[in-house]
Amino acid sequence: MESVVTLQQLRSFYQDKKVFLTGHTGFKGTWITAMLYKLGAIVKGYALEPEESKPFYDSFASYRYCESIIADIRDKEKLQSEITAFEPDYIFHLAAQPLVLRSYEIPAETFDINVTGTANLLESVIKLKNKCAVVVVTTDKVYENKEQDVLYKETDRLGGYDPYSASKACTEIVVDSFRSSFFNAKNFDSHQKAVASARAGNVIGGGDWSSNRIIPDTAKALLNNEAIAVRNPNSVRPWQHVLEPLGAYLLLGGHLYNKPTFFAKPFNFGPNPEDHLTVKELVEIAIQVWGSGEIRINNNADKPHEAGLLQLNIERAHRELNWKPKLNAKEAIQWAMEWYKKDVSMQADFTFKQIENYLAK
């Protein structure tokens, strides 16, 4: 089956369209902003300053590829004024507290950012006078994970052991509430708004320097000639290169705009079942691609709980969006590690090169 995530297809949706993007200074936010730049979209970003000492986002300063608003999504008045003034055709909501382990340190704040922040955004959409498609990005961790050998589908029960997962499950409930009450498909002709949610698996790729994530931890260790500390070597995750879900978000957004009453629902985006790898398998492939490195298992018995098994069913995306992954697990890891090998001065150009290569596949 030929891929539908192509430059031609996505440009037909986004060229000269106005896109409001929350979380544009983050890892995934920087990548999707670069993609929208290549598609000819008019982008307005809304996010906090990046936390990293050498942010991926700063690599693109010379491109001036979007209008950037540095503000908090919990500031409802500011968020609403920026959205209503911009009158976007599309909104992609990526701003979040995205780390499981950090959610144990700041549980209440994690709920505030992820749940209240999303409610603030959707309340702002009510005020818009123009037609708008909204994609809210959550996570594969929204499901009540029984850690059994099953592939979770969009109709399965929501849940969350840790505060991050629970906050994202709550976010899905908020989205469904607004979709039913304020943006009901039966009344689309009057409100002209459609809201979908996107649940992606574990994302890897260049530019991610977050703590306690396996690919950034691996890259940092290899760059410093240190052993790679692995917390949960046997944990299984739906790994995918960052361009896979971002291409899927953009595809979903385009179809949501054109057929709002059909596509206003949740979608899973992840790898094929054979590409669900253990953490140890992923690191071993990364070492192979890099050409050197060694693993050190971290057997800290006091570490917070993290799920040992999580897998996604992506049949809805395949059936209704004609979407499927382009990269297998080994290719995804190779693309990520090749990015980290690049000098800082080359990272922005290499990011665009990987986007072009991905869209051409």
Strands 90-93 and 132-137: parallel
Residue 152 within any structural domain of the chain: yes
Q: Is residue 1 part of a domain?
A: no
H/E element, 81: helix 76-86
Of 233, 273, 196, 250, residue with least CA distance to 358: 250
Question: What's the CATH number where 269 sits?
Answer: 3.40.50.720
Cβ neighbour number for residue 277 with a 10 Å cutoff: 22
Separation CA 227–CA 305 (nearest Å) = 23
Is residue 182 in a domain?
yes
pLDDT at residue 1, rounded to an integer? 46
24-71 pLDDT, tens digit per residue, is 999 999 999 999 999 999 999 999 998 876 688 888 876 778 999 999
* Beta-sheet strands, E only, within the chain: 18-22, 42-47, 67-70, 90-93, 132-137, 193-200, 203-204, 228-230, 236-237, 240-241, 266-269, 277-278, 295-297
> Under a CB-based contact definition with an 8 Å cutoff, are residues 26 and 50 in contact?
yes
Residue 171 lies in a domain: yes
State the number of CA atoms in the 13 A half-sphere of 261 facing the CB: 8
Longest pairwise C-alpha distance within the chain: 60
Of all helices (H) and strands (E), which one includes residue 126?
helix 117-126
Tokens of 162: 């840790």
Read off the tokens for 208: 């991610």
Q: What is the domain count for the chain?
A: 1
The strand pair at 193-200 and 42-47 is best described as unpaired
Question: What type of residue sits at position 9?
Answer: Q
Its domain, for residue 174, covers 7-360
- 10 Å CB burial of residue 181 (0-12, 13-18, 19+) is exposed
Select from 135, 22, 20 the least CA-distant residue to 73.
22
325-360 confidence digits (pLDDT tens): 999 999 999 999 999 999 988 999 999 999 999 999
| Each residue's pLDDT tens digit, 199-237 | 997 899 999 988 888 899 999 999 999 999 998 888 887
Q: Which distant-in-sequence residues (6+ apart) come within 8 Å of 77 by Cβ?
A: none
Q: Is residue 2 part of a domain?
A: no
The model's pTM: 0.94
pLDDT digits (tens, 9 = 90+) for 236-263: 877 899 999 999 999 999 999 999 999 9
Query: What pLDDT was estimated at residue 194?
Result: 98
